[in-house]
Amino acid sequence: MGLFNRLDQTVIETSVRGTELLEAPLLNKGTAFTAQERSTLRLDGLLPCRVETMQDQLDRAKITYNKQTTDLRRHVYLRSLQDNNETLFYAFLQQHLTSVLPIIYTPTVGKACQLFSEIYRKPRGLFISHDLIDSIDQMLANVPQDIKVIVVTDGERILGLGDLGIGGIGISIGKLSLYTAIGGIDPYTTLPVTLDAGTNNQELLDDPNYLGHRYNRLDEERYYQMTDAFIAAVKRRWPKVLLQFEDFAITHASPLLARYQDQLCCFNDDIQGTASVTLGTILAAAQRANVPFKDMRVTIVGAGSAGSGIAETIIQAKVAQGATEANARAQIFMVDRLGLVLDNQPDLYPFQQALAHPVSITKTWGTTGERADLLQVVEHAKPHAIVGVCGQPGIFTEAVMKQMAKNHSQPIIMPLSNPTARAEAIPEDVLNWTEGKALVATGSPFNPVKIGETEHVIAQCNNTYIFPGIGLGVLAAKASRISENMLQAAALELSQISNGDFSPGDSLLPPLEDLAVVSHKIAVAVAKQAIADGYSKLESSDAAIEQAIEAIYWRPKYQKTLAS
């Protein structure tokens, strides 16, 4: 039976008693245990005499939360609440989602990852290293749950902060928290994992408190020995699991996805999730700006795995709307730290080569120098949208923004890098430089900006709009794979949700407090596409899909606890 057995949606039974029960976060109700439960589960005397409701506990938790003096302290408090009482933690997240989202996830989670070894309190998730690859089956057996969703990272490229070693598991924990709080995924079926491949961060190697392996990152042979062993063990124990790759460096992100995407149901959120939410936002912005998406030109600043994933997703969407692939590719302009990506560059990865423009384009433009810089690209290509995923603050300069506004009446400006300090531009600057013309979306949260009489609400184009719904749809449909069509369906659904009635200054995306509703609609769209693609045997009717979603949907409510 394991830790507990659900008799139905309101009753569970468990064999654990006393302090052991109070230390089990998925079973602990703290002061909400009833008098009868306290007697039968040997809790008498271990709790204060007052029996509280969940709302009583939430009110006390809010008071304590408000007393924390920094965002990092608020993050640590929420993590301690999660480690003590998981149900209450998720109820708190849902009740205060808009205000706590930046605390439990980006941007504060970046600081928490940097200080992971310092703020570490209780174990959560699995830490797998090369020297233990022969024991991975036993490690997975140490996790008794029926795992349905895994988020795995190797910590090499955390947000825009770089190599944080095992501290990257904070991202996995944060993502899974949102799978549950927004997507309704049962937390008992989720598992955060970090692959401890070492670190090249000298500060961590020199830090006496660092909890990971103190050696430089593994060479390629040993690295893939470890990932192969991990994937093989996961397939043996949980062959139908949904596995999300998170924050892997450019050298491994695309190769890992290509290596394993046909072996189990997996996706890379930085490549595919970011691409999907960006596409959804651009589709919404195109309608606002009255620009046919098929004809849109887009500049992407940052030619790594995330930027290239966005480009390929936009190209696929354009082709689906009737464009030829050649024309769609010609409308995408990738810019790296040296300028426009050209096909004569010797150091391009294959996925970058497919997006490179011929070197002759700069001669056609009459630009000086072999590589056109960002301003020259904007002057000559006249993109309708500019997307930043390079983590270089300030690269969207005043000159670039003014040129965008000169080219188009409503330029689409998307500085998406996280955390906030890594954003390519600040929305207030962008709107001032464009005289309020720009349609702006960012990766991190920003306050509204008032230009003249119009208040501009800044959309947060964050994967949070996408991955919880993808997870819910995949699990409800019992999909065996995640197809590009399913990701496109998620983006299209997001754009349709976003484009109801709107006024000048309105956000390009739905408000954060509607994320659960958005995720539900995306889950339906993803499930339908999984069925159409042949990756699910679920009946395709709306009623069958809704029933499948409701059957697995988890809500943070206390259940009556019985002794087994």
Catalytic residues: 105, 175
Q: Which two tokens stand for residue 26?
A: 């998925």
Q: Is 111 helix (H, G, I), strand (E, B) or coil?
A: helix
Pairwise CA distance, residues 383 & 398, whole Å: 16
Does residue 428 have a known ligand-binding role? no
Does residue 73 have a known ligand-binding role? no
Pairwise CA distance, residues 560 & 557, whole Å: 10
Burial of 83 (0-12, 13-18, 19+ CB in 10 A): middle
Please choose, from the candidates 510, 492, 489, the residue with its C-alpha nearest in 3D space to the C-alpha of residue 500.
510
Pairwise CA distance, residues 267 & 251, whole Å: 16
Contacts of 402 (CB under 8 A, 6+ apart): 433, 434
The CB-side HSE value for 79 (13 A sphere, CA atoms) comes to: 27
Please choose, from the candidates 110, 126, 47, the residue with its C-alpha nearest in 3D space to the C-alpha of residue 84.
47
Could you tell me the strand order of the sheet in which 149-153 lies?
Answer: 126-129, 190-196, 149-153, 242-245, 265-268
Pairwise CA distance, residues 277 & 445, whole Å: 15
Does residue 270 have a known ligand-binding role? yes
Pair 161, 255: CB distance under 8 Å:
no
Does residue 247 have a known ligand-binding role? yes
Dihedral over Cα of 365, 369, 374, 379: its sign: negative
Q: Give the DSSP letter string of 429-471.
A: HHHHHTTT--EEEESS----EEETTEEEPPEE--GGGTHHHHH
Does residue 462 have a known ligand-binding role? yes
Could you tell me the strand order of the sheet in which 332-336 lies?
Answer: 339-340, 332-336, 298-301, 385-388, 412-415, 439-442, 459-460
User: 543 to each of 52, 407, 540, how far by Cα in Å?
Assistant: 38, 47, 8
3-state secondary structure 128-146: EEHHHHHHHHHHHHCCCCC
Does residue 407 have a known ligand-binding role? no
b/e for 202-239, b at 16 or more Cβ within 10 A? eebbeeeebbbbeeebbeeeebeebbebbbebbeebbe
Q: How far apart are the first and last CA of the chain?
A: 10
Pairwise CA distance, residues 497 & 491, whole Å: 10
Annotated binding site for a divalent metal cation: 246-247, 270
Annotated binding site for (S)-malate: 157, 418, 462
